[in-house]
């Protein structure tokens, strides 16, 4: 009797999970259908304002050359590339220097030592800003590659739509098996909280930039306090986008996955720190909400599989176990279907969807590690630096 009551309580939970997944899948479909494309806008003439591409780089010897090659090949004519070597410990600085000698459009900046209270990338961006001379600033990452018309399209979209800032969703490249199995799982949530539909709705508070590509007017960037205003944020692109939206500026998020390629995580260690990096600021901003999000993720992403394994051996023994089997099969099927669709969108081989349960477990464990280590002296490692966030008050999203 007690076991039946327990099983039926699990059934109720799974019915709620099914409802949540139906809603998430609908959000995914709406996001794919309604998010505007970077190259679709009503063209208006503009005066080709100068664009300063601000490109921070730390230990990027494997990626920086391909990034610079794709930027130098742009068909836009009025731009400079401010490349900041952020205390790299590899050949990054040497590669930048060689490119700068060959092309006067490249400005090689060597960042000074990072001051206390600053995140590394934020410090590199502000060092680049000091050398930039353009009317528009395009921030990107060293592991990003571009089609040759990206800047022309971005400037045209910004000017034609009279925007203050524009950010583009890139194609996320996965370099290792762990990321290929995990990214489709975590991406299902990006279509809700970080949806372009919410960002583009002036009545919503959601504002967010993709660090791999956002272009912003100089006066707008300075008005929200530059990167100095988010110097302590580990997710600085989210925090800066939030400030732009809250300040009343007109911003827009578009799809650029056919024009821009970025790397989300490079290996298992980078993936682990990326997951922690998502949860640590949430926990420091509001611990109760972060813990609530963790349990929501746990039940949405992983528990359907647990309930399925638990119910299979006893499905014929009682109605409660049979009901649990059916609801766990439906919820697991919805979860797997969402990951399958997302993998197709991300252009990840379908075979990696088979490992969706493993990806779910990695996400759950990464989020849990973020909560446990949020207030330690080394909560997050990123690009060869270890950061303590325990005395910070992150503000990269409205929780």
Q: What is the pLDDT of residues 39-75, one digit of tens each?
A: 999 988 899 999 999 999 999 999 999 999 999 999 9
pLDDT above 70: percentage of residues in the chain? 94
Q: How far apart (Å, rounded) are the C-alpha atoms in residues 331 and 245? A: 36
Give the separation between CA 93 and CA 85, rounded to whole angstroms: 6
Picking from 51-55, 78-82, 208-212, which range would have the lowest pLDDT averaged per residue? 208-212
**Which pLDDT score, from 0 to 100, does residue 396 have?**
59
Please give the torsion angle defined by the CA atoms of residues 290, 294, 295 and 297, in that order, rounded to the nearest 10 degrees.
130
- pLDDT tens, 127-148? 999 999 999 999 999 999 999 9
Residues 6+ apart with CB under 8 A from 215: 51, 136, 137, 138, 139, 154, 155, 158, 165, 166, 167
Least trusted range by pLDDT, from 186-195, 301-310, 344-353: 186-195
Please say if the pLDDT value at position 399 is more than 50. no
Share of the chain above pLDDT 90, in %: 60
Instruction: Give kind and range of the element (H or E) at residue 98.
Output: helix 92-102
Could you tell me if 282 and 397 are in contact, meaning their C-beta atoms sit under 8 angstroms apart? yes
Rounded distance between C-alpha atoms, residue 170 and residue 383, angstroms: 21
Q: What average pLDDT does the segment 151-162 reach?
A: 97
Strand partners, 253: 167
Taking the C-alpha atoms of residue 14 and residue 303, their distance in angstroms, rounded to an integer, is 9
Predicted confidence at residue 397, as pLDDT, reads 57
Terminal Cα distance for the chain, rounded: 40
Residue 207 near residue 133, CB atoms below 8 Å: no
Q: Is 210 exposed, middle or buried (0-12, 13-18, 19+ CB in 10 A)?
A: buried
Question: Which range has the worst mean pLDDT, 38-42, 154-158, 176-180?
Answer: 176-180
Report pLDDT for 330: 96
Residues 6+ apart with CB under 8 A from 219: none
Q: Per the structure block, which two tokens stand in for 215? A: 């272009």
pLDDT at residue 395 tops 80:
no
Tokens of 237: 């692109």
| Cα gap 232→120, rounded to integer Å | 9
Cα gap 129→137, rounded to integer Å: 8
pLDDT reported for residue 305? 94
Assign 117 to helix, strand or coil: coil
Phi, psi of 69 (to 5 degrees): -60, -45
Give the C-alpha distances (Å, rounded to integers) separating 212 from 37, 109, 175, 263, 308.
16, 19, 17, 9, 39
Task: Estimate the crossing angle of helix 64-72 against helix 92-102, to 10 degrees.
Answer: 20
Distances (CA, A) of 287 to 242, 295, 333, 372, 375: 20, 12, 32, 11, 11
Residue 398: pLDDT over 60:
no
Quick one: pLDDT at residue 55? Answer: 98
Q: Give the pLDDT confidence score for residue 42 in this predicted structure.
A: 92
Query: Which has the closest alpha carbon to 282: 274, 290, 291?
Result: 290
pTM: 0.90
* Nearest of 119, 85, 112, 113 to residue 99 by alpha carbon: 85
Residue indicated by tokens 């922690």 = 276
Please compute, for residue 24, the number of CA atoms within 13 A of its CA located in the half-sphere on the CB side: 26
């Amino acid at each position: 009797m007690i076991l039946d009551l327990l099983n039926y309580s699990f059934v109720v939970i799974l019915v709620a999970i099914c409802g949540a997944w139906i809603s998430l899948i609908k959000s995914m479909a709406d996001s794919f259908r309604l998010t505007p494309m970077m190259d679709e806008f009503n063209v208006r003439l503009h005066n080709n304002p100068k664009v300063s591409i601000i490109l921070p780089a730390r230990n990027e010897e494997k990626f920086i050359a391909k990034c610079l090659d794709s930027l130098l090949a742009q068909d836009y004519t009025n731009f400079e590339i401010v490349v900041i070597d952020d205390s790299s410990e590899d050949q990054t600085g040497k590669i930048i220097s060689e490119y700068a000698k060959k092309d006067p459009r490249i400005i090689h900046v060597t960042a000074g030592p990072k001051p206390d209270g600053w995140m590394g990338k934020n410090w590199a961006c502000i060092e680049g800003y000091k050398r930039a001379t353009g009317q528009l600033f395009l921030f990107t990452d060293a592991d990003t590659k571009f089609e040759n018309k990206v800047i022309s399209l971005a400037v045209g979209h910004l000017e034609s739509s009279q925007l203050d800032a524009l950010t583009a969703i890139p194609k996320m490249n996965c370099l290792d098996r762990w990321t290929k199995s995990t990214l489709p799982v975590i991406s299902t949530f990006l279509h809700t909280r970080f949806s372009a539909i919410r960002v583009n709705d002036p009545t919503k508070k959601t504002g967010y930039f993709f660090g791999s590509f956002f272009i912003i007017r100089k006066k707008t960037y300075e008005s929200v306090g530059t990167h100095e205003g988010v110097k302590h944020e580990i997710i600085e692109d989210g925090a800066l986008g939030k400030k732009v939206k809250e300040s009343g500026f007109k911003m827009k998020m578009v799809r650029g996955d056919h024009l821009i390629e970025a790397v989300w995580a490079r290996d298992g260690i980078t993936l682990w720190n990326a997951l922690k990096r998502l949860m640590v600021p949430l926990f420091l901003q509001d611990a109760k909400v972060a813990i609530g999000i963790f349990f929501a993720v746990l039940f949405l992403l992983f528990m359907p599989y647990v309930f399925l394994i638990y119910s299979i051996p006893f499905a014929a023994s009682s109605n409660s176990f049979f009901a649990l089997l059916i609801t766990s099969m439906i919820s697991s099927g919805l979860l797997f279907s969402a990951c399958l669709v997302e993998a197709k969108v991300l252009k990840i081989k379908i075979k990696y969807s088979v490992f969706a349960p493993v990806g779910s477990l990695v996400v759950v464990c990464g989020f849990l590690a973020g909560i446990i280590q949020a207030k330690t002296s080394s909560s997050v490692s990123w690009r060869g630096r270890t950061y303590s966030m325990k005395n910070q008050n992150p503000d990269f999203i409205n929780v």
